DNA sequence: CTAATAAGTAAGCAATCATTTACTTCGACC
DNA sequence: GGTCGAAGTAAATGATTGCTTACTTATTAG
């Protein structure tokens, strides 16, 4: 029935399965709305395994956010500063391809109420906005508050676009294709981060 | 001890008190995170009165959103179309004055999961974005999808700014004063809604 | 083949949730 | 001033929550 490459019991595999399902639920419905049974059932896995692998529901959420932070950091650290916004915009515009990219963005607006997890999210957003603000000026000095504020408004705009597109689901934004959204987002990026 | 103008028992007064406290909690922490006891205790009122006056927690949330919709509609319907965005931006920038304005915006990104309530929010956002999109064109025809999409991105940007400012609380956006934010938001509005 | 350990499961735990019920107290009206 | 309905309260309901425990099954090593 089953191939010889798939084991019936694989801890790291089910752990990853839980992580993927959890990110999907947390991103779409928020922390307290989703129950551990929702996640376990979605993954086709026993509820107790959540506590075994992640200690608690909170731990699972932190693991989700942590992997999201890692994803975004890898993408934004390797890219030249002036492309960061474009890469994030691409995550929102894309719909047909891997929904993981989209959920990663949505996860950033979800909170479990835990202070440590909130600090993690805040640190990521601060880091990215600082890099964004640095991109608009030629001098290597740290950006001023005015530039920082615009960069953070840009990130907020991208997160808000994510919400409007999937969570609130207002057409035509919810149903627009990738090219249409990219065009509109480009206008937004250029306005808040003028080159030079 | 107490003034003669305040009655000890006033149904409409406690109803309004519950409504105000509920909007504050729902807007800041979301629907499922806040408990009915949080709201009742915050209002200094017995828990059972929530079910008496609003039938259910869901009913109370719907009443909150409904009053938010009324507030926003009154403001946006009376204003000329090209000032709508500015008025909404003012709600976000303002911090020293009445926090109600800010919470009204935040409430639009909170969902109880109920389909009817979600539809109410979607209808409001569609209506406002249509008016916004109409403002950028001279012809009286209904706006095309491209203009509509930009207007919705603008609203999403404003909602995202709300989240970044209070919920996620990233400095300097969280601590910036009204004038600084207004300036930056104006850039954003003009970019997405070019006059003419 | 067989023991030992890792992986997974079923059942139930205490705590908390929204809601309902039976009851008490206030306030207005004749 | 007494009465009656409205306003408010305390306590308990059943359902759901996150999590633990005792157990079974699969996998691997000797």
Tell me the torsion sign for CA atoms B3, B5, B7, B11.
negative
- pLDDT over 50 (residue B30): yes
Nucleotide nearest to A54 (CA to C1'): D19
Q: Is the CB of A58 under 7 A from strand D?
A: yes
Instruction: Dump pLDDT digits (tens) for A40-78.
Output: 999 999 999 999 999 999 999 999 999 999 999 998 888
Report if residue B108 sits inside a domain.
yes
Instruction: Dump pLDDT digits (tens) for B148-192.
Output: 999 999 999 999 999 999 999 999 999 998 899 998 999 999 899
Cβ–Cβ below 8 Å for A188 and B157 = yes
- pLDDT over 70 (residue A5): no
Report if residue A100 sits inside a domain.
yes
- pLDDT over 80 (residue A30): yes
For B113, name the nearest residue in chain A, comparing CA atoms only.
Answer: A29
Report if residue B96 sits inside a domain.
yes
Question: Which pLDDT band holds residue A4 (cuts at 50, 70, 90)?
Answer: very low
Cβ–Cβ under 8 Å, residues A153 and B173: yes
Q: In this structure, what CATH number is given to the domain that contains residue A82?
A: 1.10.357
pLDDT value at residue B96: 57
Question: Which pLDDT band holds residue B143 (cuts at 50, 70, 90)?
Answer: confident
Report if residue B56 sits inside a domain.
no
Please give the tally of structural domains in chain A.
1
Min Cα–Cα distance to chain A from B44, Å? 24
Q: Is the CB of B47 under 7 A from strand C?
A: yes
Instruction: Dump pLDDT digits (tens) for A117-153.
Output: 999 999 999 999 999 998 777 777 888 899 999 999 9
Express as a percent the part of chain A with pLDDT over 90. 68
Min Cα–Cα distance to chain B from A153, Å? 6
Q: Is the CB of B114 under 7 A from strand C?
A: no
Domain containing A89 equals 64-192
Min Cα–Cα distance to chain A from B108, Å? 9
Cβ–Cβ below 8 Å for A164 and B180 = no
Cβ–Cβ below 8 Å for B192 and A187 = yes
pLDDT value at residue A1: 37
Q: What residues in B contact A129, CB-CB < 8 Å?
A: 170
Report if residue A1 sits inside a domain.
no
Report if residue B31 sits inside a domain.
no
Report if residue A114 sits inside a domain.
yes
Question: Which residue intervals of B30-173 are DSSP H helices?
Answer: 36-43, 48-54, 57-78, 81-93, 99-107, 115-135, 145-162
Residue of higher predicted confidence among B165 and B6: B165
Q: Is the CB of A57 under 7 A from strand D?
A: yes
- pLDDT over 50 (residue B2): no
Report if residue B42 sits inside a domain.
no
Q: Is the CB of A49 under 7 A from strand C?
A: yes
In window 7-36 of B, residues with CB < 7 A from nucleic chain D are: 9-11, 13-14
Which of B47-51, B139-143, B163-167 has maximum average pLDDT? Answer: B47-51
């Amino acid at each position: 029935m089953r191939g010889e490459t798939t084991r019936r019991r694989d801890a790291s595999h089910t752990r990853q399965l839980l992580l993927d399902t959890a990110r999907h639920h947390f991103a779409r419905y928020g922390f307290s709305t989703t129950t551990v049974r929702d996640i376990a059932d979605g993954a086709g896995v026993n509820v107790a395994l959540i506590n075994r692998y992640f200690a608690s529901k909170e731990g699972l959420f932190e693991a989700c956010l942590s992997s999201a932070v890692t994803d975004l950091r890898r993408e934004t650290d390797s890219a030249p500063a002036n492309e960061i916004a474009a890469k994030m915009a691409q995550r929102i515009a894309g719909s047909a391809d891997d929904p993981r990219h989209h959920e990663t963005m949505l996860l950033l607006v979800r909170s479990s109420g835990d202070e440590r997890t909130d600090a993690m999210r805040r640190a990521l957003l601060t880091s990215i906005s600082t890099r964004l603000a640095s991109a608009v000026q030629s001098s290597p000095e740290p950006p001023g508050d005015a530039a920082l504020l615009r960069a953070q408004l840009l990130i907020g705009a991208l997160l808000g676009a994510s919400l409007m597109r999937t969570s609130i689901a207002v057409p035509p934004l919810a149903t627009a294709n990738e090219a249409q959204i990219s065009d509109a987002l480009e206008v937004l990026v250029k306005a808040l981060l003028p080159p030079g």
